[in-house]
Structure 1
Amino acid sequence: MSADRSNLPALLQLASAALPVGAFSHSLGLEAALEAGVVRDAASAEQWIADYLALALADGEAPLWRAQYAAWLALDENTLLAINDQLVAMRETAELRMESEQTGRSLALWLQALPQLSTFTETHRAMLGRLLPPAYASVHACASAVLDLDERDALQAMGWSLAENLTTAAVKLVPLGQIAGQAMLRRLASQLPAWVETAMARAPTQARNFTPMLGILSAHHETQYTRLFRS
């Protein structure tokens, strides 16, 4: 984390599980992986989540998040619209796309309702409104920029939120005890700095989203007979 701690409250709020974006209703393919027997226990659940963070986040969305973060700082609308379209297109199934759009809209509503945020200008608001639909990573990058968060800190906050949400889903689905879940989350969190550095080293044009098993299982989840989660 950067030496300046003045923005720590904003960072903690953005990473909080209490953020009202509806992430708790999505498992991002984990529920289908359990149904298919790909995930069977605590160890395989942890590996699945680690793979998601490394392949879907660090290799895929995070480099594009960085492009959006820079574009929000520069108020570069053409880049914002183009990268947002790419982020939406990278979601391979209806449910994965729905998760990104629903949490993106909810995060935008949260951001617009924050009081005393002079850095969130009318220009930011207008450009955010033209992201149709708004990908979660695009809106998260906007929030990070207007909250004046360090790029690495904000990326780590996004990774933490994803790891925490998927670990909570694993606690319910495997199932796991709360203590076992917290131990898993700690091990995953210890890898976040390396994943962030992977994203920092990758240009937006090098973003890749090669996760065929995730796409297949997510598509199966759309017609899964019983389920707790929306994705």
Structure 2
Amino acid sequence: MRAAALLRLLQLASPQLPIGAFAWSTGLEGAVEHGWVHDAASLSDWLTGVLGGPLAHQDLPALLRLHAAWSRGDELAVQRWNAWLHATRETAELRAEDRALGQALARLLSSLDIAEAAPWRSAARASYPTLFALAAVRWQIDAESAAQAWAWAWAENQFVAATRLFPLGQTAVQRQLGALLPAIEAAVDYAAGLADAELGFSAPGLALASARHETQYTRLFRS
């Protein structure tokens, strides 16, 4: 990878990216509230399950297809995979999170002179992976690296959310994040080998955690 592309990749995966990801837990707060996640071991189990389940079977393979669609200028394929991703979000909160991050990233990319992002700034079904893939293509980041960075950003945000939900030291976070790296690599490799007909995954635990979070009495996160 060229230096310019690598630096853009670091920018895209940075927790400082101003898209508001810190406000969302992707259902993790609901899982903590119900005692499913309560320590480092249960957090590792939860994240490994989500990574190997819906992310490896839905988000990552769709991101790879979106990268290819943006690369060849296939607007119909972009719209189709974006709509497919929206349909896979099993709760109102998961849909709201995906849309909010997608719209925020579209606004950012528009300000960084990526013209194709402009129509997505207020799109009702703007999916975060759709705009992430667009940025990767325009900044000449290859599909595999983009998928790995997207999964890394998801994992880092989950660990940051966990430190706000229960006692988890920074050293433990870095140890667990490092331990998750092989799973991220494996998930991207697995996603790359899936045919279109093999995409899709149901994660009842994640859906229940997110749905219950919608009516949780007190909460730190929007999802």
Asked if these proteins are the same fold (TM beyond 0.5), I'd say: yes
Residue 187 of structure 1 corresponds to 179
- The answer to whether the 8 Å contact 2:109/2:117 transfers is no
Task: Measure, in 2, the Cα distance between the counterparts of 1:133 and 1:193.
Answer: 28
Aligned-pair RMSD on alpha carbons? 1.6
Taking the TM superposition and a 5 Å limit, the aligned residue runs for 1:75-114 are 75-114=73-112
Tell me the secondary structure at the aligned position of residue 175 of structure 1: coil
Deviating beyond 6 angstroms after TM superposition, the runs of 4 or more aligned structure 1 residues are none
TM value normalised by structure 1 = 0.91
- Within 2, Cα distance between the matches of 1:209 and 1:100? 17
Query: Among residues 60, 63, 76, which one is paired with 1:62 in the alignment?
Result: 60
C-alpha contact 2:107 2:117 (8 A) present in aligned 1: no
| Aligned-pair CA distance for 1:150 | 1.0
Cα distance in 2 between the residues matched to 1:224 and 1:175: 20
Q: What letter corresponds to residue 214 of structure 1 in structure 2?
A: L
2:23–2:222 contact (8 Å) kept in structure 1: yes
Distance 1:25 1:183 in 2: 24
1:213 aligns with 2:210: no
1:67 CA displacement: 1.3
Q: How many residues align?
A: 223
Quick check: 1:72–1:142 contact (8 Å CA) kept in 2?
Answer: yes
User: Counterpart amino acid of 2:185?
Assistant: P
Q: What is the CA-CA distance between 1:127 and the residue it aligns to?
A: 6.0
CA contact (8 A) 1:61 1:207 kept: no
Structure 1 stretch 183-192 or stretch 23-32: which is displaced more?
183-192
Match of 1:133 in 2: 125
Equivalent position amino acid for 1:53 in 2: L
Q: Aligned partners of 1:83, 1:168: CA distance in 2, in Å?
A: 29
Q: Which amino acid aligns with 1:101?
A: R
Counterpart amino acid of 2:92?
A
Task: Give the secondary structure class of the aligned counterpart of 1:7.
Answer: helix
Q: 2:22 aligns with which of 16, 24, 28?
A: 24
Structure 1 Cα separation of the partners of residues 21 and 95 of structure 2: 13
Contact 2:103–2:123 (8 Å) recurs in 1: no
CA 1:131–1:207: 2 relative to 1, 3 Å? farther
Normalised by the length of structure 2, the TM-score is 0.94
- Supply the AA of the counterpart residue of 1:91: R
Q: Which residue of 2 aligns with 1:169?
A: 161
Paired with 1:78 and 1:112, the residues of 2 have a C-alpha distance of: 21
Give me the whole-angstrom Cα distance separating, in 1, the residues matched to 2:121 and 2:154: 24
CA distance 1:26–1:125, shift in 2 (3 Å) = closer
Q: Which residue of 2 aligns with 1:34?
A: 32
Alpha-carbon deviations, 1:7-49, whole Å to 9, x = none? 1110100010000111111111111111111112110011111
Contact 2:102 2:126 in 1 (8 A): yes
